A and B are shown apart, each in its own frame.
Chain A
Amino acid sequence: MTAPITRDQAFLQFLLRMGDNTLILGHRVSEWCGHSPVLEEDIALANTALDLIGQTRFWLGLAGEVEGEGKSADDIAFLRDVWDFRNILLVEVPNGDFGRTLMRQFLFDAWHSIQLGRLMTSSDSRVAGIAEKTSKEVAYHLERSADTVVGLGDGTEESHRRMQEALDYLWPYVGEMFQSDAIDAEMVAAGIAPDPASLRDEYDALIGRILATATLTIPDSSFGHKGGRSGKMHTEHLGHLLTQMQWLQRAYPGANW
């Protein structure tokens, strides 16, 4: 049996979950910079990545404050190893093709927008403030990723096939967003964050509507990969991502410009 966690410990874990999601997805999306199919998409992806990295500074900055050991958002982002990350597995899987990247973005944006909407009434004013600020950006992300999923899903034979394959590949990673544990229970008790499971109905309704318009079929499977947000088991991909994202601070500690 594990020792019960304190409210501050749970709060720190919650903030890491929020910040690591935006950090790792922001990094993944930034990998497209200079490689997108057309210039406008390149700019759109780079802008989305930028928003996500900016949001990370709020979440991990607050995490450092709550932890109280003098760590900055940069310290937390660049000086932890795989087992300390609390992002869901969905955001760390490789980009695949453009369709898979946009499908992942849509599946995440839909959750993100609902989650931030709930966090705007958080009992912690700092959390509510970050949610209020970032939800505006995320509404924009969702509008675009949903539009693109519809455009490609209900597009040519090939774009439809690729979007269905993307959905089939990513679907087993969706469930992790709605799993609740002791940390979530503590956050619910403190009025800081909602129970993840309570977001599922709204999420299913939202993505169901968009995916139907996109002529895509949600896989009939409830199997789910997990272990990211608890930190128990990340995919092999996260370590590779960190070697890129963190190498400068690892090779030249304290470097800045």
Chain B
Amino acid sequence: MTRPSSEQIWQWLDGVPDPEIPVISLVDLGIIRGVEWNGDMLTVSVTPTYSGCPATSIINLDIETALRDHGIEKLQLKTQISPAWTTDWLSDKGRDKLEAYGIAPPQPAGGPERCPNCRSTNLTKVSQFGSTPCKAHWRCQDCLEPFDYFKCI
């Protein structure tokens, strides 16, 4: 087969959903750090979000499955921990999708900008931790809905 371009690979990876937050892709999440051909061997560099995130091994499996489905035969996944993942790498598309899904996107101020349900800014933190390592638990004081906030790191 002819070697697909790097742009094509990125596009395919943008079709792989995050296993915990399926509304955004692995590319949106900013964890795909590189796509590189060496002869007929494709190397994809992936960085973990949190050291202990249990989704990491599923993510690797999903990348491998997706690329094999597209006919990639020789594939190598490389874990790259430096530079460390930061929520600055979330794509704008990903941030919008998160909010539409009900998860407040990360803010440098360290808390959500507004309630993803009613847009109120009258918010309170329930817990610094949430349903996955990357999220904290907040509540809207106006619509009273609890919601996840994507932590800013």
Contacts and interface: CB of A to CB of B under 8 A. Distances in A.
A-B complex is real: yes
Interface of A: 26, 40-41, 43-44, 47-55, 57-58, 125, 128-130, 132-134, 136-137, 140, 143-144
Contacts of A58: 51, 81
Given A58-B81, A132-B83, A136-B153, A44 B53 contact: no
Contacts of A137: 50-51, 153
- A-side interface mostly: helix
B130 interface: yes
Contact of B133 (A50, A130, A144): A50
Contact of B82 (A43, A53, A133): A133
Given A43-B129, A44-B128, A140-B153, A54 B52 contact: yes
Interface in B54-104: 54, 81-86
Given A40-B137, A140-B128, A128 B52 contact: no
B81 A129 contact: yes
B41 interface: no
Contacts of B48: 54, 133
25 contacts: A40-B129, A41-B127, A43-B137, A44-B129, A47-B129, A48-B129, A49-B52, A50-B53, A50-B54, A50-B133, A53-B52, A54-B53, A55-B51, A55-B52, A57-B51, A58-B51, A58-B81, A128-B82, A132-B83, A137-B50, A137-B153, A140-B128, A140-B153, A143-B128, A144-B129
Interface in B106-139: 126-131, 133, 137
A40 B81 contact: no
A43 B50 contact: no
Contact of B84 (A44, A50, A132): A132
- B-side interface mostly: loop
Interface of B: 48, 50-54, 81-86, 126-131, 133, 137, 151, 153
A140 B133 CA distance: 11
Contacts of B85: 133
Contacts of B130: 43
A51 B51 contact: yes
A114 B143 CA distance: 41
A133 B51 CA distance: 8
A27 to B, nearest CB: 12
Pick the most buried of B48, B84, B131: most chain A CB atoms within 10 A of its CB. B84
